[in-house]
Amino acid sequence: MKKTILALAISMTATQAVGAGFQLNSQSATGLGRAFAGDAVIADNASVVSKNAAAMSLIEQEQISLGFVVIDSQVELNDTLYTPAFGQTQEVDNTQLDNTTFVPNFHYVNPIDGTAWTIGATIHSNFGTHVEFNDDFPADEFGGKTSLSSVNFGVSAAYQINEQWSVGAGLDAIYGEGEISRKNLLDIEADGVALGFNLGATYQINQDHRFGLSYRFSPDLTAEGQVDQLTSKTDSLDIPLPDMVEFSGYHKIQPIFALHYSVQYVSWSEFDSLTSDGLSSPIKEYQWKDGGHVSLGATWYQSPTTEYRVGYMYDVSPVDELTSLSIPDTNRHWFTLGVSHELSKQWTVDGALGLLVGEEAHINESLTVIETSNIQSDVTTDAWMAGIQINYKF
């Protein structure tokens, strides 16, 4: 199987992850229903382990959450002009790239009886995409095929210091695989595992008002395998990934109504280029800027067994002056809604639906091998997301 480490695959693809940069944001249906606003502190089920380890202390009973998110994404290329290395500028027919992805997730949280400790585990995907241009796409040096998937394995522990404060920490292992090909230019087979960690804290004024803060360290990834670039060959790639900081708040201002919010900072400027020790120059330059998102959500507690939620997120693209068709990234607006229903004292089901609307971006990219080729296009990115999740309390 042809493989490549996840971040490399996304950095070279011509489709679009649903989050800015190459974030996926599909950790839970519960979070999707509120555009992940307040996700680092709400802790309505075990999925909180994927956002803030410290917030596990808010869980009072051993439980699991199991679900999936389906992502139907579209990337449209309009008013495209392509200048081949040896030839005249030509217009390219409007192109639409469609992809449907199934992203599962699993979370477990267990408060240890008689102690202030809570432990948890999570399996989910933070990144993933698939795209394949038609064979007749004229700018094949900018197109090609990319297919990838990833799995994040995490274990965490939280400690409740007192009624107000809790702290937590966790370890993450990320494995990714996929395929990248660019006709006569690039063929990569590699896979790798990266280890990171996360830290978190929560402060609870009372049961109705609380705050959460989390930090995720993402190390540089070294992928090993086969990297063929024109006449050069090597067996490893170095890929810098960004750290993330998220602050969330939750406020139940009425017995049946709550507001919640999140602000996330992502140090995308670390992702400046894709390099290899075996090559004299970078495979790809990006020169991204730092980004992140802000989100606002509301929950209506319609009854003791049913909750409705809505959310909005503004997701800031990290792409700066150096644009690229390989990541037609744009600022995005998320509009989401969701519902939770308690089937019994043990079982709860969550559902969510989201619409992601991307702003238009102009791409102007050049590639020099012997001569220079260029492509310019107006790009929009949109997606529908739907999630379902079941939660079980032991």
The pLDDT tens digits for 2-14 are: 434 444 444 444 3
Q: Which amino acid, one-letter code, is at 18?
A: V
What are the pLDDT digits (tens) for 327-373? 777 899 999 999 999 999 999 999 999 999 999 989 888 888 888 88
Residue with the bigger pLDDT between 149 and 378: it is 378
How many residues are there in the chain?
Answer: 394
Mean pLDDT of the chain: 87
Output the pLDDT for position 259.
98
Q: Say what percent of the chain tops pLDDT 70.
A: 92
Residue (of 379, 393, 369) closest to 185 by Cα position: 369
What are the pLDDT digits (tens) for 206-217? 999 999 999 999
Element spanning 31, H or E: helix 29-32
Confidence of residue 278 (pLDDT cuts 50, 70, 90): confident
| Across 137-166, average pLDDT | 87
Rounded Cα distance between 350 and 36, Å, is 14
What are the pLDDT digits (tens) for 50-105? 999 999 999 999 999 999 999 998 888 899 999 988 888 998 888 888 888 888 99
Output the pLDDT for position 21.
64
What are the pLDDT digits (tens) for 201-242? 999 999 999 999 999 998 887 777 877 777 778 887 777 888
Q: What is the DSSP letter of 32?
A: H
Is 29-393 a CATH 2.40.160.60 domain? yes
Contacts of 10 (CB under 8 A, 6+ apart): 17, 22, 127, 129, 146, 148, 327
Helices and strands of the chain, counted as H and E runs: 2, 21
| Residue position matching structure tokens 């090609």 | 144
